[in-house]
Amino acid sequence: MTSNQKITLTILTIIACVLAIFVGYYSVQAYHFYASQPLGAAIPALAPFQLPATWTPRPGAGPFSTVTLAPTLSYPTPTAQTYCNGPYVMNILAIGSDARLNTYKYGLGDVIRILRVDFSTPRVTVLEFPRDLWVQIPYISDNLNGQDHEKLNQAYLYGNPGDGFGYWDDPSGGSGLMALTLEQNFGVKVDHYIAVNMRTFEKVVDALDGIDVTITDKETADATDLAIGHHHLSGAEALKVARRRVEGVFERANNQNLIMCALRDKITKPNVITKIPELIASFQDNIQTDFTPEQLGQLACLGSHLPPDNITFASFPQELFVPSRIYDPVFEKKLFIWDVDFNILRQYVEGFNAGTWPGASDSSEPDPSTSSYCP
């Protein structure tokens, strides 16, 4: 090889290396750009308003001061280290829609959970909101002749763009309106949301090759055509267990928690956890969410560091709720609702936001009447 050929080869090699560096750099930049793009519209800020009295406490209701929770919010200090490069705390609104089609134009928000994800501990606390609470829903009164109260699960329906509804034209749709309704009535702070309808729920469970649950009570077994004992459930079977309500809404919430625990067990397996972002992306057109692929990766990563004892399912004390009925001018009939003092619920939510409830900060034992753990 002549000296000129050596020089030419050297120049070409240098050019190739420079091009490779540029291509690699821009590929990384493109990946980070994609990973940081949300899969749906973010929740807008709630417009300032004067919170009206949303409820009149029933006679004999316990005084506000009897609920002993932390009066102020406390979060990890900015110097605290977090797992998976996540934020210190992330609050997620999870909605299960009763829509039976692939579309999200219709359907009530019949399953309502707030997940408080602590990336510094790590810990996940899941709070259930009963769907039959009579709440003030923002932005709907102009469409309902001044009516601004409906059941909580209606907020999701009214925010989605179904024919005759679509009372709120924000891109975040029913999930966004549900988040603002929870904030307005109870002080819930939502960072992100994910909504799944019944058909998509079945498909997700099937994509995970089913889930394993143990049925322990005869009522659930009879209502779902399953024997007492261990079962490997398909998506349709898991949905049937989650929707069982023979003994009432509180018992149904327990069954839903049973299914959520089974899902947690499945998605934290080593051969599944790394595929969660890919799994969510494959259902992107069938799930409503504002997560970015990067954030989904952080949640998947956190699952590998999360001890089972650090997942808690919380409910408001059942004794606070009294069955009642109220006349609804929209439906022109009396509807079933829960009579409950919203001030007390807001106190519990304040403790939930702060990470002090369920379970007092000076005790390692949770309150068994309001919380449970995955087995």
CA distance 40 to 273: 22
> By percentage, how much of the chain surpasses pLDDT 90?
31
Give the model's pLDDT for residue 308.
Answer: 76
32 vs 304: which has the higher pLDDT: 304
Give the model's pLDDT for residue 145.
Answer: 83
Tens of pLDDT, residues 215-246: 887 777 777 778 888 999 888 888 888 877 65
On the question of pLDDT at 327 being above 90, the answer is: yes
Tens of pLDDT, residues 92-127: 999 988 865 656 666 789 889 999 999 999 999 999
302 vs 9: which has the higher pLDDT: 302
CATH 3.40.630.190 applies to domain 197-267: yes
On the question of pLDDT at 294 being above 60, the answer is: yes
- 279: CB partners within 8 A, 6+ apart: 204, 207, 208
Identity of the amino acid at 248: G
- 188: CB partners within 8 A, 6+ apart: 91, 93, 114, 179, 182, 349, 353
Q: How confident is the model at residue 13 (pLDDT cuts 50, 70, 90)?
A: low
Q: How confident is the model at residue 4 (pLDDT cuts 50, 70, 90)?
A: low
Find out whether 58 and 322 touch, Cβ atoms under 8 Å: yes
* Candidate ranges 38-42, 133-137, 163-167; pick with highest mean pLDDT: 133-137
On the question of pLDDT at 66 being above 50, the answer is: no
> By percentage, how much of the chain surpasses pLDDT 70?
68
Give the model's pLDDT for residue 363.
Answer: 39
Give the model's pLDDT for residue 18.
Answer: 55
- The rounded mean pLDDT for the chain is 77
Give the model's pLDDT for residue 31.
Answer: 45
Find out whether 148 and 136 touch, Cβ atoms under 8 Å: yes
Give the end-to-end CA distance of the chain in Å, rounded to a whole number: 72
The model carries a pTM of 0.76
Tens of pLDDT, residues 150-199: 999 999 999 887 656 778 889 998 999 999 999 999 999 999 999 988 88
Sheet containing strand 89-97, edge to edge, reads 287-289, 192-196, 89-97, 109-118, 123-128, 311-314, 371-373
279 vs 259: which has the higher pLDDT: 259
CA distance 163 to 375: 43
Architecture in CATH for domain 82-196+290-375: 2-Layer Sandwich (3.30)
Give the model's pLDDT for residue 78.
Answer: 44
277: number of Cβ within 10 Å: 20
Kind plus residue range of the DSSP H or E element containing 263: helix 249-267
Give the model's pLDDT for residue 3.
Answer: 67
The structure tokens 């290396």 sit at 17
